[in-house]
Amino acid sequence: MGTTGVLAAHYVVLCFLQMVALSSAQFTVTGLQRPVLAPLGGNVELSCQLSPPQQAQHMEIRWFRNRYTEPVHLYRNGKDLHGETISKYVERTELLKDAIGEGKVTLRIFKLTADDNGAYHCVFKVGEFYEEHITEVKVTAASSDIHVLMWPPNIKGVMLECHSGGWFPQPHMEWRDNKGNVITATSKAHSQDENKLFNMKMTLLIEASSHRSVTCYLQNLLTHQEESISIVLSE
């Protein structure tokens, strides 16, 4: 074989190796750019996709939160490795692989808690090459459980106290008069229970005969869900 033939053979081999490298390792991972709203206690589905589309059965696919070594779900060598997921996600995830031949998978998470709020990394890996996409999950909860207490009147007026629990994230809370105008609260406070849900408390000192009725109003700022309770004040 002459010099020209040797060079041609080397060129063909080089092109082949480049094609293999590109087909097996060069890709990006895409998915939703906006946060995903998901109700407390419900399920959520998070999808990610290889670009350009390609087979992904042979790849490692890993979903994790804060640490790469603590997967929420792990797929490797064609199998879901449930034994390697962190404890709070055991039996709470499923990887939908109907379109894995095109490089698309969907992570389904069941029975959402406030702890599931936050970022999720989707990683596709071949050998030492990997790319990821991050999706933000925003867990939401609102509560119609609202109570208003009225303390006995004194020379300064009447003290009202509004309570509501079971919100996530922390809601907007305010007093309103019978025309819908905002009344400045005397005090506001909040706490979180063992499930990280917000318990809200707001007080209002009303001078005698200043308002016929007042409303304790709360709103989840993510879903815009509103809840309220009104109280009529007698003379």
Please write the tens of the pLDDT for every residue from 171-213: 999 999 989 999 999 999 999 999 999 999 999 998 866 778 8
> Once rounded to an integer, what is the mean pLDDT over residues 85-100?
95
- Establish whether the linkage from the previous residue to 52 is cis, with ω within 30° of 0: yes
> Once rounded to an integer, what is the mean pLDDT over residues 12-29?
54
Structural domains of the chain ordered from first start: 3-139 (2.60.40.10), 146-232 (2.60.40.10)
Please name which of 170, 169, 205 lies closest in space to residue 187, comparing C-alpha atoms: 205
Reported as a pLDDT band with limits 50, 70 and 90, residue 25 is: low
Q: What is the pLDDT of residues 38-87, one digit of tens each?
A: 999 999 999 999 999 999 999 999 999 999 999 999 999 999 999 999 99
Residue 18 scores a pLDDT above 60 = no
Q: What is the pLDDT of residues 105-130, one digit of tens each?
A: 999 999 999 999 999 999 999 999 99
Predicted pLDDT of residue 12: 38
Phi, psi of 210 (to 5 degrees): -80, -25
